[in-house]
Each structure stands twice: as structure tokens, then as C-alpha cells.
Chains A and B, each alone.
Chain A
Amino acid sequence: MSSHSENPALQHHFDDLKQQYEAANMGMWAFLAQEIMFFGGLFSGYAVYRYKYLAAFIEGSNHLPIFWGALNTVVLIASSFTVAMAVRAAQLGRAKSLFNWIISTMVLGVAFLGIKSIEYADKYHHGLIPGANFTYDSPMAGQLKIFFSFYFVMTGMHALHMIIGIGLMIWLIPKIRRGAFTAEYYSPIENFGLYWHFVDIVWIFLFPLLYLIGREPWIQL
């Protein structure tokens, strides 16, 4: 249709921006459903072994520092706030404010990964990384190795999603500065927000499952 050339953001195969927005939005939700199943496989594996080797899993939890985990939870929840504000700024067409909120989200995301790497380094020094350096010596060592395998695969997959999220922000920032997003066209920001919230929610499940439940309180604070 001839109206296609009206808004430069409108892709040729859509009738109007509303259809394009709804499609992008739905595509993101479908993608997130896929993500839930991806992590779901890990969570069910975790559940099976927690049920089988409860003692080892509690022992494993005792080796995880609540302080860093809790701090990271705060960091991520804060980043959920900043990304929500970024979407709000995009909807209102405030480019400057959008830029600031995205930068804050990115800073918080990087902070999360920084804290995570402190924890990983700590695990390495204590010989608790299966495959790289695992020196834990006890009759439960094999089962504890499984716990730490889940710890690293789950938090590693989560961290990978954080890195992808940060990459997406790096991709978005030049567009934001160019003024590509307006009150009429902001679906990339909104969909990025959805993705980022999803990654946060995964952590909201990971933190209690790995760090908190069943452990002795306040050890290694």
C-alpha cells in the first residue's frame, strides 16, 4: 500500500505500525516461552538431583556466599527498575531520558557480571569448579560435584543471557542516539525490556534454589 513509506520504521510487509508492534511483541513472548522451556530443562534436572541427594545439595548451598548472592539480587532488581523506566521514556518519546536509563541498566548488568566473576574466582580458589578445579574431598564429593555442575551451568546460562542482553543494549544505543525511537515506534526497547525482565526473573528463582533453601543460616556471610 502506498501509505507504507510514511514512517521509515515501518517494514514493507506490514500494513501499519500497530500491526508491526503487535507482531514484534508477540514474537518476543513466544521467544520467552521458549526460554522458559530452555531453563525448565535445567530446573527439572536440578529438582531430580535435589530430591536424590538432598544432603549434598544443602552442603553445596553452604559453600555459596549469601552476601554476594543477595547483593546481586538487589543489583538485578534495580536493573529491572531502570529498564522499566527506559521503556516508559521510550513510550513518551524522551530520547535523552531513554539513553540514560539504558546506560544505567547496562552499568547494573555489568556490575552483576562483575560480582558473579568474584564468586566464580572464589570457587576456583576453593577447588569447587567441576572440570577445571575440583578438589573437594569427602564421601559426598561426586554428589557435590553434581550440585556445583548445576550451579555453574544454571548461573552460567543465566550470565550468558545477561551478556547477550548487554550486547543488545550496545546495539540499541547508537539507534537511541540517532533518535530512531519515537512515541510511535519503540517496540525494540519494549521487547528488550521484556527480555531483560525475563533474565532477572530467572535469577529470582536461581538465588533461593542455589543459595538459600535448606542451608545453615548465615554461614560464610
Chain B
Amino acid sequence: MTTTSTTEAPSASGHLADPDVNYLNNEYGIKSWLLSLDHKRIGLLYLIMTTVFFVVGGIGAALIRIELMTPGGDLLEADTYNKMFTMHGVAMIFFFLIPSVPAVIGNFVLPIMIGAKDVAFPKLNLLSWYCYMVGGGLATFAIIAGGIDTGWTFYTPYSTTYANGYVSVALFGVFINGFSGILTGVNFMTTVHKMRAPGMTWFRLPLFIWAQYATSLIMILGTPVVAITLLLVVLERVFHIGIFDPALGGDPILFQHLFWFYSHPAVYIMIVPGFGVMSEVIACFSRKRIFGYSFVAFSSLAIAVLGFIVWGHHMFTTGQSIYAGMVFSFLTFLIAVPTAVKIFNWTATLYRGSVSMESPMLYAMGFMGLFLIGGLTGLFLSTMATDIHLHDTYFVVAHFHYVMVGGMVMAYLCGLHFWWPKMTGRMYSEVMAKTSAVLIFMGFNLTFFPQFVLGYLGMPRRYHVYPDEFQILHVASTAGATVLGIGYLVLFICLVSSLINGAKAGPNPWGAKGLEWMIESPPTPHNFHETPVVTFEAYAYEEEDTLLPVPGDGQTTGAVSH
């Protein structure tokens, strides 16, 4: 620690005189990135690696969709197909969706939003990235060396008794990766509690922070349970300890209970930070304070808490007690309440706001529509009677893709577009960004809406062959996936090319409110020249120039002239 602080301390004072020094150019070389303790650089490290895993998962998805164009098994054999959807699920869920908003966007903006120089534990932050890398490396090794075909859920006894040996490696990878989430959670929670700038009270926090806080709670309380569960599966495979082995009296269903105790809350690890992004973007592009700030804030916590007591809705068909099923079903309905609070409040924020449709807002609108469909179809699945029919069909696949891709990925891309100028100091091409947003929205709907119909008609998930009458819908879905893929490609080109020829963004290209928009783009290594003193509420869009937080420092305040 002492070495880094001595190297950084002189440059920190130098920034006052030299506004051109930022976190990207204050140090050079591969070591300055791989050993960086700067939350902004670690955020970018996560950005690069989550993108890599997004591509890995995307390749799996592409092969799945190509295979499903025809009713027979032409491209992939059954085994390969199983490995592909497992690769898709493991890469996307554990290595893209879970770390994307918290670890990429959260790492970057959370400390700045609360007026801190860094997260509370910069070394743990770096360690979390290495946990992610080691976990991801092990999972990738398992995929390359022999593949895993258990599905991302690793259900026992298949995963313990029958599946091939690389399952242990993959499980251990996911186990290690779990610590990345736990460390991020511990770090963010402590940061929000202890690192807020003077005057940054709890109810002045941007709602993104509340969402991250709720997410940290789930990460801390949920992830260790799946960690020990996956470890038990590894031990079962290696030592045949019998805990999940029916032959010895072990109970495979116990695995599902323990797995979903984490993995349902994990859905909220993925989506709640996305809610946070929505609040920021919708407030900014409506030029209004979020309607019902405290309701939106507490609804994040309510979702975090309720999320822990609904896991049984994944298990209506496992023979769990029907009374337990009724309770789980009811509790699952309850989750719709805080979720609806958010949607209604965002809608109310738009009402009579000065709405402008820049690309982040376009993504936000896409999120609202798609997530709404994802959420409402969830009610079909949380109703026991309808779930018996829809269980394990494409209806489920379509539902969680509407939530995870239509909701979460849209929110992530929305946040990425929103804070990209802050991260890189560059503006991207608005035309390309809007094109990609529209392509992604249309491609997504074309991909997954037919799957609702397929599932309702009885197409089960995880099969690579199907009856002829389903082909038209599968072809539509594959066509949609192609559009979706092109959309992502346009987006990638758009953002990368902005690094080469993007216009300089300036501190506040959107005219947004919040501490992160009062500093340079890209920020200086310590974010603020002096600790800001917060004298304004969050989203003070309807007030004139209350944004003069830093006494005696012309540079920071000068950035926010209107």
C-alpha cells in the first residue's frame, strides 16, 4: 500500500495544475492496469473481460439457434448441443450478467457518485477481479478440454454421478468466481456506508446507489450458499460422499433447494443494478426528479429481501409439498409489487417531463417495454396450475430472456452508453448508437416472442430436435437472433470507433445532475480535486444551479455551467 500511495500522492497534487492528467494516462504499461487499485481501471478490466465472456456465451447461442433452424439434428449432435447450451448459460450468467452492471458500471461510478476517492477496499477490489479471472479461466478450460453438458444449473444427480469429469473443474471455477461477487458486495456495502462525502445523506444518494446497495446485500447473503453447495457437488463427485446421491439415501432435491436459494436471488443480483441505471437515465432524459424517490429506493431493498423467500417457485414440479408451493407462489406474486412500483414511478417520471430520446434513453425505453413483458409472464410461471403446463418449456426460456436480456442487458447497454463519455472522455456516433438500439430491440423481440408461443404449444427446452410444426417459429426466432447479433456488432463498432475518432465529451454531455457529472471526463485518478460537500438533493433537475459543491475549487464547479 505504501508504495502505491507514495507514487500517487505527488501526482494527485499535480492535477490541480494539470487538468490533462486523467486516470487513463497517469500511468502506462500492462502492469499499471493489471495491478491497478483504481476502481475506474478495475471497472474497465471487468468491462473487457465481461465482453469476452459475452462473446463466448454468444457463440453458444449462435450455434444453438443455427441448429434449431431445422427439426432434425443437422449441425450438432445431442451431446454437443447440450454442451453448447451449458456453455451459453454458464458464460452468460456467471461471467457476464452477474458481474456486468455491479462490477463494470458500479465499480466505475459508485465511488464517484457518493463523492469518494475510491471504494473502501481497493485491494479487495482488485482481488475480486482476479477471482473472476481464475474462475473464468477454469470454466473456459472445462469448456475447451471436454465441455460440460449439465446445463448451467448443475442439477444432481446428473452432475454428480453421470456427467463427465470436467464438471468438477467448471464447478470449482464458478465457486472461485463466487468470491469475486462476495468481495464486490462487501466492498460496495462498506463504501456506501462509510465513504459518502460530507452532506451526502442516505436520501440524497442517487437511486443507482440504493440499487447497488440492495444488490450487495444479496451478493453477501446469497453467494456463499451456492458456493458451499457447488463445493458439496465437487466433493460428491470426487469422494462420493453421498449427500446428493439417492443410492445412499442422499437427496438430489436438497441440491435444488440450496441452488435456488442463491440462484433466484441471483436473478435480482442481475436485474436490480439495472433498475438503478434506469432511474439515473430516465431522470436525466426527462429532466425531472424521479417520482417517489423513497419508494423507488426502498423497493430495491424490498426486492432484495423478498427475493430470498421465493426460491421454491423453481420447484413446483419436484414433488415439494403443495402447501409450500402455495406459499412460494404467493410470495412470488408479492415481488411483483415493488417491481411494479418501480415501473409506475419511472412512467410517472416521464409524465410531463422534458423527454429527449438520446441513445441511452432509447435503451431505457426498450428496457421498460421488454422488462414489463418479462415480469408479467413471470406471473404465469409463479401460478402453480399454469406452471405445470409451462414448466421446462420455451415459455420459461422466453420469460427469463425477456427479463435477463430484454431487461438486464438493455439496462447494461443503457448504462454503458450513458456513462461511456465519462469513462472514455469520448462521444460515440449517436446515429450508430440509435441504430444499434433499434436493431437490438427488434431482433430481440423477433427472437424471443415466438418462443412464448413455442413453449405454450409444448416445445420443451434443451432439445435439439423437434416436431416439424414448430419449425416456422424456430426459423423466425433464428432470424431474430441474426438481427440481434448484427445489432450487438453495430454497437461494438460504435463504441470502439468512438475511442478512435469520437468527439471530446466534456464533463457533462447529457446535462445530467450528480457528482459524477461535475468532474472531468475521463476523471482524474482521485476523481475529485477536493472532497466535495453535497448541498443538493439527487436529481435536482428542476432547480437552477444548485451544483456548486466544491468550495474554493474553480475547476470542478466550472465544469457544470449551463
* Chain A contacts to B: CB under 8 angstroms: 1, 4-5, 8, 11-15, 19, 22-24, 26-27, 30-31, 33-35, 37-42, 44-45, 48-49, 52-53, 130-132, 142-143, 145-146, 149-150, 152-153, 157
Contacts and interface: CB of A to CB of B under 8 A. Distances in A.
B120 interface: yes
Interface in B205-248: 220-225, 227-229, 232, 235, 238-243, 247-248
A30 B189 contact: yes
Given A15-B531, A33-B220, A152-B241, 5 more contacts: A13-B117, A23-B120, A31-B182, A40-B225, A146-B250
B14 to A, nearest CB: 14
A37 B258 contact: no
Contact of B232 (A15, A30, A153): A153
Closest 6 CB pairs between A and B? Answer: A131-B239, A38-B224, A142-B248, A149-B241, A13-B118, A41-B228
Q: Which residue of B1, B195, B238, B242 has the most chain A CB atoms within 10 A of its CB atom?
A: B242
B186 A34 contact: yes
Contacts of B242: 130, 142, 145-146, 149
B348 to A, nearest CB: 34
Contacts of A26: 189-190, 193-194
Contacts of A157: 228
A111 B190 CA distance: 35
B225 A27 contact: no
A53 B2 CA distance: 56
Given A37-B222, A143-B248, A131 B238 contact: yes
Contacts of A15: 531
5 contacts: A11-B1, A40-B225, A130-B240, A131-B241, A150-B243
B52 to A, nearest CB: 27
Given A12-B117, A35-B224, A38-B224, A30 B186 contact: yes
A146 B240 contact: no
Nearest to B195: A23
Contacts of A38: 224-225, 227-228
B221 A34 contact: yes
A41 B9 contact: no
B260 to A, nearest CB: 12
Contacts of A142: 242, 247-249
Contacts, number: 133
Interface in B177-210: 182, 185-187, 189-191, 193-195
Interface string B529-546: 011000000000000000
A130 B242 CA distance: 8
A42 to B, nearest CB: 6
Q: Which residue of B193, B238, B247 has the most chain A CB atoms within 10 A of its CB atom?
A: B193
A48 B222 contact: no
Interface residues of B, number: 53
Q: Which residue of A24, A35, A131, A150 has the most chain B CB atoms within 10 A of its CB atom?
A: A131
A45 B121 CA distance: 33
B8 interface: yes
Contacts of B8: 12
B117 to A, nearest CB: 4
Interface of B: 1-2, 4-5, 8-9, 12, 116-122, 124, 182, 185-187, 189-191, 193-195, 220-225, 227-229, 232, 235, 238-243, 247-251, 254, 258, 261, 526, 530-531
A49 B232 CA distance: 14
B531 A1 contact: yes
A186 B186 CA distance: 21
A131 B245 CA distance: 13
A48 B249 contact: no
A146 B225 contact: no
A202 B225 CA distance: 16
Contacts of B526: 12-13
Contact of B190 (A8, A23, A150): A23
A158 to B, nearest CB: 12
Contacts of A13: 116-120, 122, 195, 526
Given A1-B531, A53-B249, A45 B258 contact: yes
A24 B241 CA distance: 38
Given A12-B9, A34-B224, A153-B235, A27 B250 contact: no
A146 B531 contact: no
B116 A45 contact: no
Nearest to B248: A142
Given A31-B186, A149-B243, A12 B235 contact: no
Nearest to B216: A30
Nearest to B525: A12
Nearest to B235: A153
B524 to A, nearest CB: 13
Contacts of A27: 120-121, 124, 186-187, 190
B26 to A, nearest CB: 13
A130 B241 contact: yes
A48 B256 CA distance: 13
A41 B121 contact: no
A154 to B, nearest CB: 10
Contacts of B222: 37
Contact of A132 (B225, B227, B239, B251): B239
B158 to A, nearest CB: 19
Q: Which residue of A38, A41, A142, A146 has the most chain B CB atoms within 10 A of its CB atom?
A: A41
Contacts of B195: 13-14, 19, 23
A41 B194 contact: no
A8 B9 CA distance: 13
B5 A145 contact: no
Contacts of B232: 45, 153
B187 A146 contact: no
A61 to B, nearest CB: 17
Contacts of A44: 258
Nearest to A11: B1
B190 A30 contact: yes
A150 B238 CA distance: 15
A162 to B, nearest CB: 17
Given A11-B5, A30-B189, A153-B235, A23 B243 contact: no
Contacts of B119: 13
B208 to A, nearest CB: 20
Q: Which residue of B189, B224, B254 has the most chain A CB atoms within 10 A of its CB atom?
A: B224
A15 B526 CA distance: 13
B224 to A, nearest CB: 4
B224 A37 contact: yes
B527 to A, nearest CB: 9
Q: Which residue of A14, A19, A149, A153 has the most chain B CB atoms within 10 A of its CB atom?
A: A149
Contact of A34 (B12, B220, B261, B530): B220
Q: Which residue of B116, B190, B530 has the most chain A CB atoms within 10 A of its CB atom?
A: B190
